[in-house]
Structure 1
Amino acid sequence: MIRRARLLTVLSMLVAGAIGVIGSTQTWLSVTLADGASEPLLVAGADALPILTPLSLAALALGAAISITGLVLRYVFGVLSVAIGAILGVLTAQIAVAAPVSSFAGAVTDATGIGGTDAVAALVSSTTATPWPGVTLVAQIVLVLAGVFTLVTARRWRGSADRRYQTASAAAGGDGSRPHDAIDSWDDLSRGDDPTA
């Protein structure tokens, strides 16, 4: 399990971030106005929760970067993942359960020209959440779990950053555990060593 910890963490963060980005483009709420309009207003995830897209992109970046970081940054990224997942999870749950006025006020104001929380609330007769807030909430829970898993297992990950402490023969593939591959060659080049030597 520990051998696959890094892969599992990276995939979890990438999937959670991707679902967040995709979810931000999907309809989260269907808002029916009290004036008898025939068509309900459809509110996208990015409109209902404006921080969803940037924080989901941050989760994607964390997932991509954590695979090549050293121990200290693994812990930092783990904490950031927990924080991002928790913030988005709480806000997404509020929309999925209660759909606060702030989540659809912008769409109602754009459609009617009437602003203000109380005025918008008076214009709306009902709101219905689609499955997307729930799907996004699950993704945020996965992101939190990935962050916690990182914090628990980060010290036991093997990675390119750990190889700098090995002897020259081990770094050249002389430890006998596995052959020197293309990734090792890139790591040698990053350290300023000639991988063709």
Structure 2
Amino acid sequence: MIARARLLAVVATVLAGAVGIISSTQTWLTVVLNDGAKHSLAVAGADAIPVLAPLSLAALALGAALSIVGLVLRYVFGALALAIGAVSGILTAQVAFARPLSSVASTVTTATGLTGEKAVSDLVLRIEPTLWPAVTLFAWIVLVGAGVLTVVTARRWRGSGRKYTADATTPASAATGPAASRPHDAIDSWDDLSRGDDPTAR
């Protein structure tokens, strides 16, 4: 059960970060201009929320490192994942539901050359969201859940450092106990590869 919790926390954190990175390049909002012809402009996620890509990269890095760190860093990384998910979720929800003018201002200014809140506001007829803000918001909810799961179960995860020590001092034929008898999971296979062992050779 704890092995599943660890795997779930790692996979959920990595997936949330990956969705955030992909989403940052996709169209989040369509701006219809009040220019007679009603031209439209596409606003990418990274333009709507400038910190979207950096926060997503941070979440992805946390997930990649979470499976190999010690107890203290598990708590730190879990708390960071929770914080990143909460902050990103709030910012994404604002864009998805409130659609503030600030989320499209830079795109409108780049396309038209107009600056200033009033000038941009007068030019924007309406702002229409795509599905990407909702998809990304769900990813941040998953990240928050992964952070909570990490903090709650971190102490019961098997320590990588102790595993490496046992492997270095104990012959494989002499390995006993729960750690030796339980099935390998995906995280264990990754740990084996990092030591130079090929788990597919078993």
Residue 174 of structure 1: aligned partner: 175
Structure 1 unpaired stretches of 5+: 190-197
| 1:32–1:40 CA contact under 8 A, matched in 2 | yes
TM-score by length of structure 2 reads: 0.84
Letter in 1 for 2:138: V
Residue 28 of structure 1: aligned partner: 28
Distance in 1 between residues matched to 2:44 and 2:83, nearest whole Å: 23
Q: Secondary structure at the match of 1:126?
A: strand
Distance in 2 between residues matched to 1:84 and 1:146, nearest whole Å: 11
| 2:71–2:159 CA contact under 8 A, matched in 1 | no
Distance in 1 between residues matched to 2:102 and 2:22, nearest whole Å: 21
TM-score by length of structure 1 reads: 0.86
Distance in 2 between residues matched to 1:117 and 1:171, nearest whole Å: 68
Residue 18 of structure 1: aligned partner: 18
Residue 48 of structure 1: aligned partner: 48
Distance in 2 between residues matched to 1:165 and 1:71, nearest whole Å: 16
RMSD: 2.5
Residue 147 of structure 1: aligned partner: 147
Residue 124 of structure 2: aligned partner: 124
Change (3 A) 1:76 1:170: farther
Residue 138 of structure 2: aligned partner: 138
The Cα of 1:169 is off from its aligned counterpart by 3.4
Change (3 A) 1:58 1:172: farther
Deviates more, 1:106-115 or 1:35-44: 35-44
Q: Secondary structure at the match of 1:104?
A: helix
Residue 200 of structure 2: aligned partner: none
Q: Secondary structure at the match of 2:158?
A: coil
| 2:30–2:41 CA contact under 8 A, matched in 1 | yes
Change (3 A) 1:170 1:83: farther
Runs (4 or more) in structure 1 with deviation over 2 Å come to 36-39, 161-189
Aligned residues, how many? 189
Q: Percent identity?
A: 59
